[in-house]
Amino acid sequence: MDGYGAPAHGVVMPPRVATFTDTYLPTVNGATYTVRTWRERWRARGGRMDVVYPDGDHDPEDGEHPVRSLPFPFYEGYRLGVPTVPRGVVTPDVVHAHSPFSVGFAGYRYARRHDVPFVVSYHTPTSEYVEYVAPGPLVAPLERASRGWERWFLDRADLVLAPSERTAADVRALGVSAPVDVLPNGVDVDFFAPADGDAFRERYDLDGPLVGYTGRHGYEKRLDELVDAAAGLDATLVVGGDGPARDDVEARAAAKDVDARFLGFLDREELPAFYSALDVFAFPSPVETEGLVALEANACGTPVVAADAGALTETVDDGETGYHYPSGDVAAFRDAVRRALAERDALAETCLSRRESVSVAHTVDRLEAAYARVRN
d(CA 275, CA 269): 11
Instruction: Note whether residue 325 is domain-resident.
Output: yes
- Residue-wise pLDDT for 100-110, tens only, equals 999 999 999 99
> Does 351 lie in the same domain as 371?
no
> Does 26 lie in the same domain as 53?
yes
> Does 255 lie in the same domain as 148?
no
Instruction: Note whether residue 149 is domain-resident.
Output: yes
pLDDT confidence band for 56 (50 / 70 / 90): confident
Question: HSE (CB half, 13 Å, CA atoms) of 39?
Answer: 22
> Does 215 lie in the same domain as 330?
yes
Enclosing domain of residue 207: 197-357
pLDDT at 5: 45
Instruction: Tell whether the model's pLDDT for residue 4 goes beyond 70.
Output: no
pLDDT confidence band for 142 (50 / 70 / 90): confident
> Does 115 lie in the same domain as 252?
no
Buried b (16+ CB within 10 A) or exposed e, 234-273: ebbbbbbbbbbbbeebbebbeeeebebebbeebeeebbbb
Number of neighbouring beta carbons within 10 Å of residue 75: 15
* Residues in a beta bridge with 262: 239
CATH number at residue 315: 3.40.50.2000
pLDDT at 26: 83
Instruction: Tell whether the model's pLDDT for residue 3 goes beyond 60.
Output: no
pLDDT confidence band for 179 (50 / 70 / 90): very high
Instruction: Tell whether the model's pLDDT for residue 128 goes beyond 80.
Output: no
Instruction: Note whether residue 191 is domain-resident.
Output: no
d(CA 256, CA 230): 9
d(CA 183, CA 288): 15
Supply the DSSP symbol for 357: G
User: Between 241 and 7, whose confidence is greater?
Assistant: 241
> Does 368 lie in the same domain as 315?
no
CB 74 within 8 Å of CB 87: no
Overall number of domains in the chain = 2
> Does 170 lie in the same domain as 111?
yes
